[in-house]
A and B are shown apart, each in its own frame.
Chain A
Amino acid sequence: MATVTQQGNRGSLTRRQRISRLWSRVYQACVGLAALALVILLLKIVDDAFGTVAVVNVVDPASLVSQDGRSIEQQNAEELAGLARDYLDEEGRHFVSTDRLFTLFLDEVARTELPSSALRNLTVGQALFSGQNFPQKWADRTLFELRLPDVARVERDARARADIALLLAGNVEQGRLLELVYNDIVQVELLESWNLIDSLTRQDEIRARAARDFPQATLEFRSWLNADFLRTPGSSQALTSGIRVALLGTLWMLVIAIGVSLPLGLGAAIYLEEYARHANNHRLLRLLNGFIETNIRNLAGVPSIIYGILGLTVFVRAMEPLTSGQLAGVAGADGRTILSAGLTMALLILPIIIINAQEAIRAVPQSLREGSYGLGATQLQTIARQVLPVALPGMLTGVILSVSRAIGETAPLVVVGAATTIFVDPDSPFSRFTVLPIQIYRWTADPREGFQDVAAATIIVLLLLLLSLNASAIILRNRYSARARRTL
């Protein structure tokens, strides 16, 4: 009888322990799953950002050699200008556009350091090309007129073409013309792109397919993330797309957002931690303080897209004269500017800054304040000379964390009206803008070949930026907390 019970107990005990062990495996698996998700995510990004591409030249450089057999690199400005003339845009042909020529001229003129608004109305004959070659009949034409496609269409005769060649050869350097020939005439076209893992493991298959489908194409290994990618603005082609404008946009937006929300956030945190808790505050003031506190907690949980709607109504529409730059004398079109975006982002990160700063201030030992009061310091002196220096590293950590939040936020900026594609660097708070996550969003959604790879490369830049910010926050925290321990 006793044996049976014992056996029964032992059986159930081993079973129970087996179940217990099984569950511990399940919990482990959960952790493994989370880690696996992160690893796959990162792998996928790297997989897309590098890989084999099949590219083809629209015009074979071999067909562009001069009569005496020199390749395009060896040709002088005059010969290159001749090529540009031969490959001007026509119906059904997309080579050198008049827009492009206009930009080239502008760049040339920009070296004279004239304000850009004045440039368009300058005539060709005025100071800019003085002493240089240009057809006499163009002397009275303004630069703006040069860009008009009509001009090109009307004068698409041999004479006008010769004029253009003359203008190019006489005023633009050989290096820039070479760039023009490469980008607009030779033109590399992306036919297909393979991921990194495929490129490494199924090389033969890729080669066979490329040979079958695109016999004229060349296969090459491409890192979508490269120096040119950081330097060039966006483009309608994946191969020449870059993030220069988006990077600058992100920086502008951050400067505005932090500039506005940092003083406000730290001020509010100091108020709430140091002044709001006084016992002899008026009852109404205490109510107000409690309300501010609750309000901040709730604001931190508001979905970011709501801030976007707020920004659209308040900054883009209601404050349009300010945000479009009208008040500052800029002839801006509308309020969808970096300033609006920065202010919207400032509101979004304000609660995060406040909450983090509050925690940093709360961590300052009370004895420090009491010691200061004991020596006869006023409250303001205590805050400024005792509390803030000790709380500073914690506050900075919070600020860095909110910066990384601001860098990654996308939705509110889409609503506020980030531009789809812009190619001009932002040069004032009143410029139209795009930022890194917006570019990731647009490029990911773009179904054309290669753009998802561009998105992956942009993600790598964004993640590196975030990682370095977070690392600096951690280092800062560790260093200062070690020092604080030593001094206390």
Chain B
Amino acid sequence: MAQYQAVQRSGAEKAATLERALRQRSLRRRARPVESIVRFLLLLCGLVSILSTVGILVTLGENSLLFFSQRSWQQVKYDTVERAVVVNLGQEVSLAAALDAQNSYLSLELDERATLPFSEGQLIELGGERMRVMAASRDGLEVERGVNASQALAHPVDTPVFVHNERTVLLGADLRADDTVIHLSEGAAAAFQIDDLIQADEEVMRVLQVEPVSDMLAVRRGEEGSNPARHSAGLPLFSPSAVTLGEFLTGTRWNPQLGHLGIWPLLNATLMTTFFALLTALPVGLGVAIYLSEYASARVRSLVKPVLELLVGVPTVVFGYFALTWMTPLLQQIIGPQVKQFNTLSAGLVMGIMIVPTIASISEDALGAVPRALREASYALGATRQETIRRAVLPAAVSGIMAAFLLGISRAVGETMIVALAAGAGPNFTFNPLEGAETMTGHIVRISGGDISYNTIDYNSLFAIGLLLFLLTLAFNVVSGAITRRYREAT
């Protein structure tokens, strides 16, 4: 009996343990496949946004790389130093009077019929000193002394004058299809280095050896899939050139077709419109923010807020229409006919109107975050309302206002339709706001709006501009966002 009871008890115990274990397991995390799948799908949704960023970066980066590595063939030029010769008379030029180290006038006394072998800006050389010609006449030259790291020296009468010339490299002799040595025009071999590529007509050659003394090059013919062909003497030679980043970032001419790829005309126009936009938007936006946060009653706020929201909701192309058909004629009436139909001033001012709500709403947040105690302390010290705002509230909110300012810049730089319509079509490096100048965004729209053919330099240049635009706005956004987050956390 006791044995039976013991068995029964142990059986009940076993059952209880089993039940406990079962219950625990069910309370513990049970695998829920549906939940896991849904969760994974949702994560994928989030990852799409990363894909978007990756897409932007890869697209812009890849094509910009192509842009910077793409090769365009240009005539090879080389520098020569030759005796200055009056071409039509065959007369060699030398100093007509002694020249001391300070004098900037160099007397020549050329024949009356002589065609001058000098031009403004040209480099000349006398007894080891290099000078730049500022003005030239038959009697003499006005020069800048000791340029290009040379020393200003005294020169006696009859010192021969040399000039620096830029010459194009030409084939010095006929070239047969099976020749491997090229004869160049005199002194031209200095322009080449081993492993350089040369193009003559359709054929590409690679330089294997340079003979500077005899002006000869040893080459491998028919490089890069081209066919060796016959070329006659006097043919200009071309060498590849790629746009360098330095050239892109410092150049002041933009004309991809002609090989001028300096971003500054476009960047300058962007900066000008941005400047005028901020000049309008910052004071007005800040004024609106101060009014809303410090003065306005709830009723006034409920009237003003919708106005701002309406301004935010207006598509930018409508602002572009406004700039072109209202602001520009108005400026023409006020300033006069020197205001061109397309100008950066009008585009900038209207862009400012567009940005006012952005600056106002972020600044208002910043002002609202200033603790009430600060204002009350200021009033208690006898400050007027304006003094409180200027001395207590604004300094406390300055980081937030800075954030608004940066975001405003970013909006203005990336803004497209206003400038595409009102700022002008055609790159123009000018600081005159009454003239038209194309901005970076305006250029992208104009070029891609037409029937653009892929893989041309025009097409690839869009990506380089786009990349610069992306990086600029990203930088402003990130800094602005960081500031905003900081004061949000602080309050």
- Interface residues of A, Cβ cutoff 8 Å to B: 16-17, 19-20, 22-24, 26-31, 33-35, 37-38, 40-41, 44-45, 48, 263-268, 270-272, 275-276, 289, 291-292, 295-299, 301-310, 312-314, 317, 347, 350-351, 354, 378-380, 404, 407-411, 414-415, 417, 437, 440-441, 444-445, 452, 455-456, 459, 462-463, 466-467, 470
Contacts and interface: CB of A to CB of B under 8 A. Distances in A.
A27 B290 CA distance: 7
Contacts of B43: 271, 275
A266 B32 CA distance: 22
B99 interface: no
Given A16-B384, A31-B292, A409-B315, 8 more contacts: A20-B384, A34-B288, A37-B353, A37-B356, A312-B448, A415-B449, A437-B417, A445-B324
| Main secondary structure on B side of the interface with A | helix
Contact of A299 (B53, B284, B309, B407): B53
Contact of A380 (B34, B320, B356, B386): B34
B60 A309 contact: yes
Interface in B18-71: 32, 34-35, 38-39, 41-50, 52-53, 55-56, 59-60, 63
A410 B444 CA distance: 13
B327 to A, nearest CB: 10
A247 B402 CA distance: 41
Interface stretch (B119-127, B162-170, B474-482): B474-482
Nearest to A285: B43
Given A24-B385, A271-B42, A29 B317 contact: no
B49 A350 contact: yes
A350 B474 contact: no
> Nearest 7 A-B pairs (CB), nearest first?
A303-B414, A30-B287, A408-B315, A267-B45, A271-B42, A20-B386, A411-B416
Nearest to B37: A380
Contacts of B47: 292
B366 interface: no
Contacts of A296: 49
Contacts of B45: 263-268, 271
Interface in B343-390: 353, 356-357, 360, 384-387, 389
Contact of A415 (B307, B318, B324, B445): B445
A441 B63 CA distance: 28
B159 interface: no
A24 B309 CA distance: 23
A185 B316 CA distance: 39
A456 B321 contact: yes
Interface stretch (B143-151, B200-208, B216-224, B461-469): B461-469
Nearest to A292: B46
Nearest to A408: B315
B397 interface: no
A414 B315 contact: no
B466 A28 contact: no
Contacts, number: 247
Given A411-B416, A411-B441, A444-B421, A310 B448 contact: no
A404 B316 CA distance: 12
Nearest to B440: A305
Given A268-B49, A275-B43, A314-B59, A31 B304 contact: yes
B78 interface: no
Contacts of B285: 30
A378 B139 CA distance: 100
B322 A305 contact: no
Nearest to A15: B384
B258 interface: no
Nearest to A407: B315
Contact of A268 (B32, B46, B290, B477): B46
B391 to A, nearest CB: 12
23 contacts: A19-B384, A20-B387, A22-B386, A30-B286, A34-B357, A37-B353, A41-B322, A45-B321, A48-B325, A267-B46, A268-B45, A268-B46, A271-B42, A292-B47, A295-B50, A301-B407, A302-B473, A303-B413, A350-B52, A408-B317, A437-B317, A444-B321, A445-B421
Nearest to B451: A417
B321 A309 contact: no
A297 B410 CA distance: 14
Contacts of B478: 298
A28 to B, nearest CB: 6
Contact of A28 (B291, B416, B474): B291
Nearest to A271: B42
A45 B385 CA distance: 40
Contacts of A27: 287-288, 290-291, 294-295
B311 interface: yes
A295 B49 CA distance: 7
Contacts of B39: 271, 275
Contacts of B413: 303
A23 B386 CA distance: 7
Given A304-B416, A411-B441, A295 B313 contact: no
B284 A34 contact: yes
B50 A291 contact: yes
Nearest to B481: A297
A444 to B, nearest CB: 5
A440 B318 contact: yes
Contacts of B48: 264, 268, 350
Contacts of A264: 45, 48
Nearest to A469: B313
A378 B32 contact: yes
Contacts of B34: 380
Nearest to A313: B59
Contacts of A313: 59, 63
B256 interface: no
Contacts of B463: 309
B441 A303 contact: yes
A316 to B, nearest CB: 10
A38 B470 contact: no
B116 interface: no
Contacts of A297: 481
Given A16-B384, A437-B317, A470-B313, A292 B290 contact: no
B454 interface: yes
A452 B322 contact: no
Contacts of B38: 380
B314 interface: yes
Nearest to A410: B317
B387 A295 contact: no
Nearest to B319: A41
Given A292-B46, A295-B53, A306 B469 contact: yes
A352 to B, nearest CB: 11
Contacts of A268: 42, 45-46, 48-49
Interface in B274-324: 283-288, 290-292, 294-295, 304, 307-311, 313-322, 324
B326 interface: yes
B478 to A, nearest CB: 7
Contacts of A289: 46
Contacts of B324: 444-445
Nearest to B294: A27
Contacts of A33: 284
Contact of A306 (B56, B291, B317, B415): B56
A305 B416 contact: yes
Nearest to A291: B50
B420 interface: yes
A267 B42 contact: yes
Contact of B420 (A276, A350, A411, A470): A411
